[in-house]
Structure 1
């Protein structure tokens, strides 16, 4: 798939370059016009993720220590991808606005480059027409421009996921070990920003079965992916062992999202829960170590499913889906375009995408659909037990855009066919009128 751009017709290459360039220019304009107004927190108070990342990058550059919510002491609270990347820009362009602005322009470049994998994934899944519509819709998607100007992991992470999906499709059809090494490396690279994608290559098993891989091939390529993944994550694991004296797979706060995910509308559990579990205090229920957090979350979930099952089932299904995908990752207005407008567009995109998903599954050969369907299924399922918010659903929006584009293309085809049929009927009627004696 990565080599297909060279083989594209000149008109297609020109189209992709024009769209990509436009996205880059608009993203840079957003960065230069809005600047720090897109920050979610106060750099002096360190009260949100973006300003904490900036602080972590500065300390990493000055002291060589990764900190986060830990003062000047080493931390494993977050994965180190963004602080390392941001500190690199600070080392070249300065620790204040220069480095941060350079990082934002880099994210603008990533947004522009994402046009290419989106086109190729859509073309592989459907056809050129759907790919063109998908490309245009992605280029017009406003949350992407907010992401370019933010200082968060989402821009880089989404780029890696797009490349990973392309690599998986290429590896599937080439059956080359080198491409499975790329799959393992990209999976590890994504884990340096968000660990959620670490089990994503497990979806390859369904693809291998669909394309009749032998058992020997499955074992060999599984080992290849795992080995590449381990090699790239080894520095993080070694650092944690030397720093904290024990092995830490990803972060030391992995249990907290599960506990926080039990909260509905940011409220405490009901009074009945605290009566049934007197060992918990409303003031401290969401505090404590990771192992305690998991136990608390399980107790809240068990109580809720017994005493208010419909509410909790809704919370972990429709409620989760709504929070992930129907709320746009658009936390600041761009060029005075209101959140309500973007929210409406998001609902239209996701709704049309769901229609297109059903339509495609009914009408189309199912094999080309498998990679994107498995992708959305995996990333939805992996977030169901935890906190669900637009930040986590944002990297998957391109899939809803693709299926919405398919629905649009099918609707246009149906309209054109109906129009052609009407013309033929009218011609037939006119021909009968010209020969009244027939």
Structure 2
């Protein structure tokens, strides 16, 4: 590849050697959840890598069709795990998306959300409440073929959607910046994340209660903002880097021993994407997923209370399992609990079809991917599905409500908190 070719897509230079690594062996096809539904080469991981390679060589234009094909990816990283040549197809797609945004190919909605709204944490809760209210209202009053639906930002499947309930009180509103204990063994910083702050403050309650029960002080800096996952995943690397630098600055000035995260995508972003993909730098202290921290880093108290026993299964979030290599720790945590009777489901590590904004843009495909997860869940009779990702939790909750299934969705930390009787 010549210097002239490289200048056409300079970001791809970070992973340029991976373009020629692909052997076209097809092993990625057997694990890609999108290819399993679509069965076309253009929706296969190797097809997307070939597409990026041809664009890099200047053989195809960076058109709207090119953008759409790149967006048809969950970033579940199953192809990366399966590839015998170690091709980082996930990074190639993200870098190619960034090339598009660098050329001004970004929607007005993305500009508003990424470059204005998410930077202003206090504005996000009321806007989210209005958005979910209007979406729910549209579902109730607009006929399916009404011309007004053409103006909806994500028109596919809008009539079927069940929107998450936005919390009345966010985590930042509820807690002080430091939750103290009498004789602290250590102090950690808690990166809350948008999903927890807006939809699952009960997860944050459990994180804080469990940590303080284990004599650990919790710092919750109110200046923290969105981790930037959805931003750089859409290709807006420059905005993503701004978010990273802001969070690095906020947490690095704290007197803490570690940072804990109870969100799979947030943890992946803070640990790996900030320093490697966005080139924004690393935190001064180590970052841990909450299950990783409790199992591997401390002597977890075992003073559990007797209580109701639940039949529980666990879904591996892609960004926790393949993204961070954390598979055993959540299961070890659940195995400790006297209130959990654990059942392993088939294909527990297969993507649920959420994929951040993927399920907003391509809802019918997301539903088909979820059907395969439901087949696994229906083989076992459980009362609770546990998962360490708020995005996955929302996707499962919506599906269970649509199907009228009596299954609750919880984060493993909530079950631990209940086992303590907190």
Asked if TM exceeds 0.5, the reply is no
Is the strand fraction higher in 1 or 2? 2
Is the helix fraction higher in 1 or 2? 1
Per the normalisation by structure 1, the TM-score is 0.29
Per the normalisation by structure 2, the TM-score is 0.30
Q: If you compute each CA radius of gyration, which structure gives the higher value, 1 or 2?
A: 1
